[in-house]
Protein backbone atom coordinates (compact mmCIF):
# COMPACT_ATOMS: atom_id res chain seq x y z
CA UNK A 1 0.00 0.00 0.00
CA UNK A 2 1.24 3.47 -0.87
CA UNK A 3 1.72 5.81 2.09
CA UNK A 4 1.62 9.62 2.09
CA UNK A 5 5.34 9.66 2.90
CA UNK A 6 6.16 7.41 -0.06
CA UNK A 7 4.08 9.58 -2.36
CA UNK A 8 5.87 12.76 -1.25
CA UNK A 9 9.28 11.10 -1.54
CA UNK A 10 8.52 9.71 -4.99
CA UNK A 11 7.33 13.09 -6.25
CA UNK A 12 10.48 14.69 -4.92
CA UNK A 13 12.65 12.13 -6.64
CA UNK A 14 10.77 12.62 -9.90
CA UNK A 15 10.67 16.41 -9.46
CA UNK A 16 6.89 16.36 -9.84
CA UNK A 17 4.52 18.79 -8.17
CA UNK A 18 1.30 17.58 -6.60
CA UNK A 19 -0.44 18.92 -9.68
CA UNK A 20 1.86 16.85 -11.95
CA UNK A 21 1.00 13.69 -10.03
CA UNK A 22 -2.71 14.47 -10.02
CA UNK A 23 -2.72 14.94 -13.79
CA UNK A 24 -0.68 11.80 -14.46
CA UNK A 25 -2.95 9.76 -12.17
CA UNK A 26 -6.10 11.42 -13.50
CA UNK A 27 -7.27 12.35 -10.01
CA UNK A 28 -8.07 15.73 -8.48
CA UNK A 29 -5.36 17.89 -6.98
CA UNK A 30 -7.25 17.86 -3.67
CA UNK A 31 -7.07 14.05 -3.66
CA UNK A 32 -3.27 14.15 -3.84
CA UNK A 33 -2.96 17.10 -1.46
CA UNK A 34 -5.27 15.63 1.19
CA UNK A 35 -3.65 12.19 0.94
CA UNK A 36 -0.11 13.52 1.29
CA UNK A 37 -1.11 15.68 4.29
CA UNK A 38 -2.72 12.66 5.94
CA UNK A 39 -6.18 14.22 5.94
CA UNK A 40 -7.80 11.23 4.25
CA UNK A 41 -7.07 8.06 2.34
CA UNK A 42 -8.33 8.21 -1.26
CA UNK A 43 -10.88 5.69 -2.46
CA UNK A 44 -9.23 2.49 -3.64
CA UNK A 45 -9.30 3.23 -7.37
CA UNK A 46 -7.75 6.70 -6.88
CA UNK A 47 -5.02 5.36 -4.62
CA UNK A 48 -4.30 2.67 -7.21
CA UNK A 49 -4.14 5.31 -9.97
CA UNK A 50 -1.62 7.33 -7.96
CA UNK A 51 0.49 4.23 -7.34
CA UNK A 52 0.38 3.24 -11.01
CA UNK A 53 1.38 6.75 -12.13
CA UNK A 54 4.43 6.58 -9.87
CA UNK A 55 5.27 3.04 -10.98
CA UNK A 56 4.92 4.08 -14.60
CA UNK A 57 7.66 6.64 -13.95
CA UNK A 58 9.94 3.99 -12.44
CA UNK A 59 9.14 4.16 -8.72
CA UNK A 60 8.57 1.06 -6.60
CA UNK A 61 7.20 1.21 -3.08
CA UNK A 62 9.13 -0.96 -0.62
CA UNK A 63 7.64 -2.87 2.29
CA UNK A 64 9.03 -5.19 4.94
CA UNK A 65 7.95 -8.80 5.55
CA UNK A 66 5.01 -7.59 7.64
CA UNK A 67 3.79 -5.30 4.84
CA UNK A 68 4.89 -2.07 6.56
CA UNK A 69 6.05 0.67 4.18
CA UNK A 70 9.81 1.13 4.36
CA UNK A 71 10.67 3.42 1.43
CA UNK A 72 10.83 3.76 -2.31
CA UNK A 73 13.21 2.65 -5.05
CA UNK A 74 13.82 4.02 -8.52
CA UNK A 75 13.91 1.34 -11.20
CA UNK A 76 16.05 1.75 -14.29
CA UNK A 77 13.17 0.31 -16.30
CA UNK A 78 9.69 1.52 -15.35
CA UNK A 79 7.34 -1.11 -13.93
CA UNK A 80 4.51 -2.10 -16.27
CA UNK A 81 1.52 -4.36 -15.80
CA UNK A 82 1.80 -7.72 -17.51
Q: For position 82, what pLDDT does the model report?
A: 46
Q: What distances in angstroms separate CA 58 from CA 11, 25, 52, 63, 72, one per listed residue?
A: 11, 14, 10, 16, 10
Could you read off the pLDDT tens digit of each residue along the chain, which spans 82 residues? 899 999 999 999 999 999 999 999 999 999 999 999 999 999 999 999 999 999 999 999 999 998 888 999 988 765 555 4
Q: Is residue 10 part of a domain?
A: yes
Q: Which domain range does residue 17 map to?
A: 4-74
Please give the pLDDT value at position 79: 57
Closest CA to 71 of 3, 22, 12: 3
Specify the CATH number for the domain of residue 38. 1.10.260.40
**Domain total of the chain:** 1
pTM as predicted: 0.86
* pLDDT value for 67: 85
What is residue 44's predicted lDDT score, i.e. its pLDDT?
96
- Judge whether 82 lies within some domain: no
Please indicate, yes or no, if residue 80 is contained in any of the structural domains: no
Amino acid sequence: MLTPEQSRAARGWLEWSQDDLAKRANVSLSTVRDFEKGRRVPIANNLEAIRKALEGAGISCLTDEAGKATGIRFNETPVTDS
